Amino acid sequence: MDAIRRILTLVSALFAIASASADEVVVGARDTSAYMAELRGRRVAVLANHTAMYRGDEHVVDMLHREGINIVGIFAPEHGFRGAVEAGLSVRDDVDKKTGIAILSLYNGNTKRPSDSVMRSFDVLVVDMQDVGLRFYTYYISMLRMIDACADYGQRVIILDRPNPNGHYVDGPILDMRYKSGVGHIPVPVVHGLTMGEIALMSVGEGWAKSADVMVVRCQNYDHSTHYELPIAPSPNLATQQSIYLYPSLCLFEGTVVSVGRGTDFPFEVYGHPEMEEREFSFTPEARSAAMTPPHKDKVCYGEDLRGLRVEDIWREGVDLSYVIDAYTDLSMGDSFFMPMFEKLIGVSWVRDMIIEGCSATEIEARWTEDVERFKEQRRKYLLYNE
């Protein structure tokens, strides 16, 4: 029966890939012929969340369980295994109701890596999460911490790769490691342009992660010029493609007194503050499942609505500091406009200084241009897909 199952799995995978249209992106999870043999007869742990869909509405964990793979545990990153936990809140250990498999949190405020006993309970780790290609988006950090742990125990890591929706450019300051934190782990720009597979290979290759046995199952029909629209929201407050494209610029407001629309129907597509009263557009953050205590809860915020921006214009501007500078100038609060989180997000100290000095977005952005070009050259040997 096992032999028949393996043949059927291989045929199904080859058929799925062959039946994809010439321009349809095929994610790594669907290429089961590339990794299923590595899992059979072994104890398998999975680091995944709600975005790890195999095909249609079938999750990769459900597929592996259906195929008889011995999954001994699921590791959950920020937002949880099913992706419903608010940003920054602890994720609890649980049991997956569908499969009965134990879920162990990697985002509970304490656990940066599993215990020794948990690490000894599996032979191979499968990673499948949809990233959005930003240094302060935490899924890659959970992956790198698990790579370090697996390096210590000699376990193989198999990454089922997915496209990067912001993978067509690189922009922003490179992290000054003095500001290393839970929202910035390695010295890369704000927008690094790498898939999860590529950032894993680069981290191991550059010594940012321990030397582990990492295998990447590549996407097909994808390169770094592909504008890939996500089929599933990667986290509760990135609900639209527009928000994903604006996120590199608007997330910087999370280190200021300004709201980015958490607690509304359009988070990361707007920004505002109760004292920016001269603006025509307004919104009122309210408690909701994705943001129970949003900044300026129940207060009318005045600001800017960016939902009408053309995607091409957002791409052209990249990491755009003009929004932060606009709000900073309007509020006239000086340094109290910023919070310590701002440096953790932008990754350097000098951006805040230059904004306070009155520099333009163009002047500030010019300062990181050479660093970005050096990084692009540094990462080239780790790219799995054409630029």
Asked if 62 and 98 count as a contact pair (C-beta separation under 8 A), the reply is yes
39-59 pLDDT, tens per residue? 999 999 999 999 999 999 999
Q: Which of 11, 5, 138, 168 is nearest to 78 (CA)?
A: 138
- Looking at the chain, the whole-number percentage of residues with pLDDT higher than 70 is 90
- The pLDDT score that the predictor gives to residue 110 is 65
Q: Where are the beta strands (DSSP E) in the chain?
A: 43-48, 53-55, 58-59, 70-76, 94-95, 102-105, 124-128, 156-160, 171-174, 189-191, 213-217, 270-273, 281-283, 301-305
Q: How far apart are CA 239 and CA 229, in angstroms?
A: 12
Q: How far apart are CA 335 and CA 337, in angstroms?
A: 5
CATH 3.40.50.12170 positions along the chain are 2-230
The pTM score is 0.91
Q: How far apart are CA 21 and CA 356, in angstroms?
A: 51
Q: Is the predicted pLDDT of residue 189 greater than 70, yes or no? A: yes
Query: Which among 88-97, 108-117, 374-383 has the top mean pLDDT?
Result: 374-383
Asked if 339 and 256 count as a contact pair (C-beta separation under 8 A), the reply is yes
| Mean pLDDT, the chain, integer | 92
- The pLDDT score that the predictor gives to residue 113 is 83
DSSP assignment, residue 340?
Answer: T
Q: Is the predicted pLDDT of residue 10 greater than 50, yes or no? A: no
* C-alpha count within 13 angstroms, C-beta hemisphere, residue 211: 1
Q: Which of 247, 271, 249 is nearest to 258 (CA)?
A: 271
113-131 pLDDT, tens per residue? 898 999 999 999 999 999 9
Q: How far apart are CA 358 and CA 178, in angstroms?
A: 25
> What CATH number does the domain located at 2-230 have?
3.40.50.12170
